[in-house]
A and B are shown apart, each in its own frame.
Chain A
Amino acid sequence: MSWTLDEWFVVLLARTIRPGETVFHGFGSPCAQVAMHVAKRTHAPDMILVEGAMYAIDPDPPFIPPTGNDASLSRGAAYSMRFEEFFDAAVRGDVDRMFLSGGQIDGYGNTNVTAIGPPGRPKVKLGGGGGGCNLAATIGSLTLWTTRHRSGRTLVQACDFITDMGHRTPLGTRADLGYTGGGPQWLVTELGVFDFPAGRARLREVFPDVSVEEIRNATGFDLEVAGDLRAARPPAPSELAVVRSLDSLAVRKSEFSADELARTFTERQGQACAC
């Protein structure tokens, strides 16, 4: 069995979902979108899947389209929430997990999707945060992800602008700020997986073709490494099958550079290795 980095990445995102959770992704998030369906069809069949910008509950889309609010995404849904029904549920604490990405992510899990450079006169104006700056405070747990870790510009010492709040901002901790949600729990990158044991990102898992030194060099904050650092667990055939059948348009690949898409893995003697 062999698989590609983009497939594995989606599977690792899916595994951050716990059975029974109510889970949401924002728009412009194809990897998270596919990952939620992988979880639903493998280890978390009883999760409540809220399909991004359609606010559709447990749909059965025929494929994942390249836009976040096409009607294909609500096919077969048990219900389509109104915009306000979803945001009310998330703000009052009924949503357990959200996927969030960022052009910049710092060690506390703050993310920037607003602007690179000074906000009054940005060097690059990014798209914006959607619902993040309300929801990052109230949703139970956050799974962060980026596919641009290797650039060295994404995991930064400090975000130029904090759109969505992590475990601590310059104004205080989540407790200081009165947030009701738990904040970032996982950060999945194309190089490895981080957890946040004390409100700071800590490298927990690595891909077999990446060294800790490479990760350190690509990370703008001080890299903390778990004492029992693990190799990322390879995808199961059942997980890969969902990725491949559901994402037949391969929208997940739009998040990766060509070099990352070329990474292929295979399993030999129970160990994943790059080939």
Chain B
Amino acid sequence: MGLQPRRDKRMSLPDAVSAVGDGAMIALGGGLSARLPMALVRELIRQGRRGLHLIGSAHSIDVDLLVAAGAVRRCEESYVGFEQDLGLAPAYRRAAEQGSIEVAESCCATILAQLRATEMGLPFLPVRGVRGSDIARLHPEYAEITCPFTGERLVAVPALRPDVALLHAPAADRYGNLHLAQPYVLDERFASAARTVIATADEIGSPGEIAAAGITIPAHLVTAVAEVPFGAHPSSCYPRYGYDRSHLHEYVAAAQAGPDEAGKYLDAYVYGTGTEEGYRAAVGPARLGVLAELPGTTAGWKELFA
């Protein structure tokens, strides 16, 4: 799809997500515990998407929840888990071990090169490393080439063009200009490589406010934008709110207990809530308020993680 003309791209979350088809290749923005597009993920699950091909760098509850809901066919991230703190990703792990999803584990710089190839209109780019790693065996699409100038043997990786990029921003305007805080992770690369970019923002502000804050991703790359407060929860979206470690812990414990308990989490926080308004009510305004107070003081910041 070409560049998007300047127009009002505000949509409801369900309407924005309805453009995503079953089987789509989806790039998930953010990473680890930061700025994951969780409202978009929850809405995909509510709408019953199936057979998704997820790509990304290092991810956690976004991928795990989609896998738990049975929405995923193939995972192509560099990492899925909850770091040293909360451990392996329970649904992802179970599905990989049972063979119910394909895991084509990848590597951060490789995915970056594959997205850049798309951005540059090239069919492939060479990368360093990978040769000698078993990661190459998970990717029959890679090839080895000889550099015509130096004679070096390098691994060529094909351009990766996601059907949809799902991104969350702390602030956007109605045209889809997105302001992000670091870490941007791969969001900028996803935005220019994907056919369609669907964004949520905690707040839609005036174009002047977003321009003053700084446009990280320009409107001409964005197809739709929906205002969803706390749309990254339980991940963080600085400077607005920190990540919700205790909620992540609640999810991981449920998912570890097995598919039934994971299903109860999905009923309580995704299906049962109906909408993101319902989700925020289920999490509770008091809890969200605590997350949004940060970072006020070091002591308060620390308390969240204790």
Contact = CB atoms under 8 A, between A and B. Distances in A.
Interface in B27-44: 31-34
Interface of A: 27-30, 53-56, 62-63, 65-72, 74, 80, 82-84, 87, 90-91, 114-115, 119-138, 161-165, 169, 171-172, 177-180, 248-249, 251, 254-255
B84 A255 contact: yes
A121 B97 contact: yes
B140 interface: no
B132 A71 contact: no
Mostly, the B contact residues are mixed
B58 A132 contact: no
Given A87-B108, A138-B129, A69 B34 contact: yes
Contacts of A80: 182-183
A137 B155 CA distance: 12
B129 A137 contact: yes
Nearest to B301: A72
B133 A133 contact: yes
17 contacts: A27-B32, A27-B79, A62-B298, A66-B83, A66-B245, A67-B243, A70-B34, A70-B236, A72-B295, A83-B186, A87-B108, A91-B109, A122-B96, A128-B80, A131-B108, A138-B128, A178-B153
B83 A28 contact: yes
A72 to B, nearest CB: 6
Contact of B78 (A63, A122, A123, A130): A130
Give the most central of B33, B78, B83, B295: most A CB within 10 Å: B83
Contacts of A114: 105, 134-135
Interface stretch (B86-94, B196-204, B258-266, B268-276): B86-94
Contact of A54 (B89, B138, B183, B306): B183
Contact of A254 (B85, B116, B130, B135): B85
Most chain B Cβ neighbours within 10 Å, of A71, A87, A255: A71
B108 A178 contact: no
B129 A71 contact: no
B78 A131 contact: yes
Query: Which 3 pairs between the two chains have the least Cβ-Cβ distance?
Result: A127-B81, A137-B129, A131-B108
Contacts of A165: 129, 132-133
Contacts of B302: 62-63, 248-249
B107 A134 contact: yes
B127 interface: yes
B79 A128 contact: yes
A249 B305 contact: yes
Nearest to A91: B128
B92 A125 contact: yes
A251 to B, nearest CB: 7
B183 A69 contact: yes
B33 A67 contact: yes
A91 B126 CA distance: 12
Nearest to A113: B79
B289 interface: no
A131 B132 CA distance: 15
A70 B298 CA distance: 13
A249 B306 contact: yes
Nearest to A122: B97
B97 A125 contact: yes
B185 interface: yes
Contacts of B298: 62-63
Contacts of A66: 83-85, 245, 305
A178 B150 CA distance: 12
Interface string B261-302: 000000000000000000000000000000000010010011
A134 B243 contact: no
Contacts of B165: none
A270 to B, nearest CB: 35
Nearest to B306: A249
A118 B235 CA distance: 33
Given A28-B81, A133-B130, A134-B128, A128 B182 contact: no
Contacts of B128: 91, 134, 137-138, 179-180
A162 B34 contact: no
